[in-house]
Structure 1
Amino acid sequence: MTESSESVSHAMPAPLGVGIVGGGFMATVHSRAARAARAHLVGVSSSRPERAVAAAAELGIDGAFASLEELIADPGIDVVHVTTPNALHAEQALAVIEAGKHVVCEKPLATTVADAVRLADAAASAGVTATVPFVYRFHPLVREARARFASGETGRLLTIAGSYLQDWLLDSADDNWRVDSAAGGRSRAFADIGSHLVDLIEFVTGDRVSRVAATKRTFFDSRAEHAAITTEDAVAVAVQTAGGAIGTLLVSQAAAGRKNRLHVELSGSAESVVFDQEQPETLWVGRRRGSLLVPRDADQLQPDAARLVTTPAGHPQGYQDAFNAFVADTYAAIAGDDPDGLPRFADGLRAARVSDAVIESAESGAWVDVAA
């Protein structure tokens, strides 16, 4: 070892300190992603102090905080992940921002457009990184589809056929806090999963939904632990885009056999692309002559898609991998980078406006313009 090399310090930067609010399924997903990004999981808070202790043990997090206030006061925490029921998002995310911390807030960002505006404005004013996990953007083949639209390879967008189908609320005995509008908000199925569908369509095509005509159904107004349910189990929507395309969307949490099937077929004047989240290893590209299946193979993809490939072709990637990539890009933004396609609070506000227009249309029976 030379004298000069002995005198040079190569200290690694301290890992990002992470706090998590909430202790359910999404907290588990967020914690895995934070760990994959080599962050330090400092602590968790939950609905009750004892639940926070249990969550810390379950998730392998260092500490448990008795309240959100105690968590955000910890100087070792740089970013807070909000994974609580929807009605708590606005108040909790705002508290994080006001404490000067970066924030990742589950969608829907808020249960009203007014609260979503307040959060987006607060994040912008505070200069913090504030993101929403529209994680399907981080499938490599979604980025490949986006690159085809951006390059003009698909031509002009003509039609959209999209669906997001699940069956976890198929039976009246199935229940969850999300069915209660006081906890989940005015919209359930569309705000919960339809928001992902619209975000994916707009992200890939670069076009925006401008008008909607919707109908909704609540198949069970009573479930195991809830009565007088008003939130929807399914929504069907006709859409028009700013660029002149037309299409249909079907969103349901009562579609037997469908576990998490987000499916989009985007037809352009030169070619169509189809992405199926349950089968994310191939992208179908339809042409009048010579249709093909594009594999998730870095050697065959555009650079922005290839960078998200973490395993060789033939070794499947899935939902957690997409979530890990979203969190990694969020942490890169905190460090000063500007990752392309990172969904921020402005995108959460956009989703709130689309959801609001869909429910307004379903209740009025009329076409409704989506606010810009």
Structure 2
Amino acid sequence: MTTDVTDTGVGTIRSSFLGGGFMARVHTRAARAAGASLEVLASSSAMSAQQAASALGVERVADDVTELLTDAGDVVHICTPNATHADLSRQVIAAGRHVICEKPLATTLTDARELVDAARHRGVVAAVPFVYRYHPMVREARARVAAGEIGALVTIDCGYLQDWMLSPEDDDWRAISADGGPSRAFADIGSHLCDLLEFVSGERIVRLTARTRRVYDERGGHAVANEDAVAILAELASGAIGTLLISQMAAGRKNALTLELHGTRQSIRFDQERPEELWIGQREGSRQLLRDPQAAHPGVARFSRVPAGHAQGYQDAFNSFVADVYEAIRGGHADGLPTFADGLRAVALTEAVLRAADEQCWVDTTPGAA
């Protein structure tokens, strides 16, 4: 491992940003909440970079990644279209900077593996924002599963449903394979669902079969090659089986990420649109468990940024994720921090899902198989 990475000590983290869209807004808010100095931003053009920097409170603009890296500070946040992630991450790592890269980490398994190896060799902190891990009630669910409270896992029922691509007039760069990659619905939101499933259950998906559907072959006057929806049948390491439904065409569903685990003693359910609670199912009756840091499992309370009764949401989860990345940059340890290795896992699952759907077969998804 090399040792020429910027030494931040315990001072202010200096952050830079590639991209100026919605995710850059989320990232800059989180960086500011973590006490960072927002140094430089580069975007698709000089005009868009200047507009974004002004709106987001970033001090300076750069023409491109090369110029940004001459004075990027400690960490670079990559918030650009999917197809650019691998090359930009490669350049940031080569410059010895820590990196937070939006998912998917890469659009090919080969690139994702290379990035994991490069980050390890260079000795940089490299993270992917699977931020739903940072809802306090997700951590509570994980702790309860790990403590054996639900018993042995039997089945799973989970999904991630949105409706922003419901009509044929709905369009986005993600629908263009050259920008978004070969998968859209799964790579964009299904990856979050699978990460959450494996994180909370403490188990890997070991094999799966899948079906994909593309409803409209054309959007916005251009051909669409990636999918609108995915249905997956999966088996976990313990033998537990279950279904995962992912769709960007579910009318009325805005961000319905749900995870339900059924054990031999209890069931447990998390709904991202109701993040302050868990549903606990028992044969003799069910109940809603509300977020309360004073009653939480050990280690969970730190994810509660405000007292019980004061709602937390997506930006709070993102803020906690970025704070953990910055703590890792300072040399600390952050339990459950999603790294490039987790990004690689998501890319491997994406390729497995596309292969299973294309060949209509079961695919082994154990590490190294996909």
| TM-score class, shorter | over 0.9
Query: Amino acid of the residue matched to residue 284 of structure 2?
Result: R
Q: Contact between 2:207 and 2:363, CA under 8 Å: does it hold in 1?
A: yes
Q: Contact between 1:144 and 1:304, CA under 8 Å: does it hold in 2?
A: no
CA distance in 2, matches of 1:371, 1:21: 33
Q: CA deviation at 1:50?
A: 1.7
Which residue of 150, 153, 157 corresponds with 2:149? 153
Superposed CA offset, 1:231-262 (max 9, x none): 00000000011110000000000000000010
Superposed CA offset, 1:333-364 (max 9, x none): 00001110000000000011111101100011
Q: Contact between 1:353 and 1:371, CA under 8 Å: does it hold in 2?
A: no
Give 1:103-142 correspondences, 5 Å limit.
Answer: 103-142=99-138
Aligned length: 359
Q: Contact between 2:205 and 2:366, CA under 8 Å: does it hold in 1?
A: no
CA distance in 1, matches of 2:303, 2:265: 26
CA distance in 1, matches of 2:345, 2:54: 36
Higher mean C-alpha displacement, 328-337 vs 42-51: 42-51
Give the equivalent residue in structure 1 for 2:211.
215
Give the equivalent residue in structure 2 for 1:32.
29
Query: Amino acid of the residue matched to residue 25 of structure 1?
Result: F
Query: Amino acid of the residue matched to residue 121 of structure 1?
Result: D
Q: CA deviation at 1:14?
A: 3.3
Which residue of 322, 325, 334 corresponds with 1:330? 325
CA distance in 1, matches of 2:309, 2:185: 33
Give 1:169-318 correspondences, 5 Å limit.
Answer: 169-227=165-223, 229-318=224-313
Q: Contact between 2:132 and 2:196, CA under 8 Å: does it hold in 1?
A: yes
Give the equivalent residue in structure 1 for 2:44.
47
CA distance in 1, matches of 2:353, 2:285: 37
CA distance in 2, matches of 1:94, 1:294: 43
CA RMSD in angstroms comes to 1.0
Q: CA deviation at 1:313?
A: 1.6
Give the equivalent residue in structure 1 for 2:89.
93
Query: Amino acid of the residue matched to residue 263 of structure 2?
Result: G
Any idea what SS the aligned residue of 1:29 has?
Answer: helix
Query: Amino acid of the residue matched to residue 123 of structure 1?
Result: A
Q: CA deviation at 1:136?
A: 0.2
Q: Contact between 1:168 and 1:253, CA under 8 Å: does it hold in 2?
A: yes
Q: Which runs of 5+ in 2 are unaligned?
A: 1-8
CA distance in 1, matches of 2:203, 2:215: 33
Give the equivalent residue in structure 2 for 1:3.
none
Give 1:56-71 correspondences, 5 Å limit.
Answer: 56-71=53-68
Query: Amino acid of the residue matched to residue 52 of structure 1?
Result: A
Q: CA deviation at 1:13?
A: 4.8
Give the equivalent residue in structure 2 for 1:6.
none
User: Percent of counterpart pairs with the same letter?
Assistant: 56
Any idea what SS the aligned residue of 2:245 has?
Answer: strand
Q: Contact between 1:167 and 1:254, CA under 8 Å: does it hold in 2?
A: yes
Q: CA deviation at 1:371?
A: 3.9
Q: Contact between 1:240 and 1:246, CA under 8 Å: does it hold in 2?
A: yes
Q: Which runs of 5+ in 1 are unaligned?
A: 1-11
TM-score by length of 1: 0.95
Give the equivalent residue in structure 2 for 1:79.
75
Any idea what SS the aligned residue of 1:307 has?
Answer: helix
Q: Contact between 2:41 and 2:68, CA under 8 Å: does it hold in 1?
A: yes
Q: 1:306 to 1:13 in 2, by over 3 A?
A: closer
CA distance in 2, matches of 1:178, 1:95: 23
CA distance in 1, matches of 2:281, 2:301: 21
CA distance in 2, matches of 1:49, 1:119: 28
1:16 matches 2:8:
no
Structure 1's consecutive aligned runs of 4 or more residues displaced over 6 angstroms after TM superposition are none
Q: Contact between 1:175 and 1:225, CA under 8 Å: does it hold in 2?
A: no
CA distance in 1, matches of 2:115, 2:51: 30
Q: Contact between 1:136 and 1:196, CA under 8 Å: does it hold in 2?
A: yes
Query: Amino acid of the residue matched to residue 296 of structure 1?
Result: R
Any idea what SS the aligned residue of 1:111 has?
Answer: coil
Larger radius of gyration: 1
Query: Amino acid of the residue matched to residue 66 of structure 2?
Result: E
Any idea what SS the aligned residue of 1:211 has?
Answer: strand
Q: Contact between 2:204 and 2:366, CA under 8 Å: does it hold in 1?
A: no
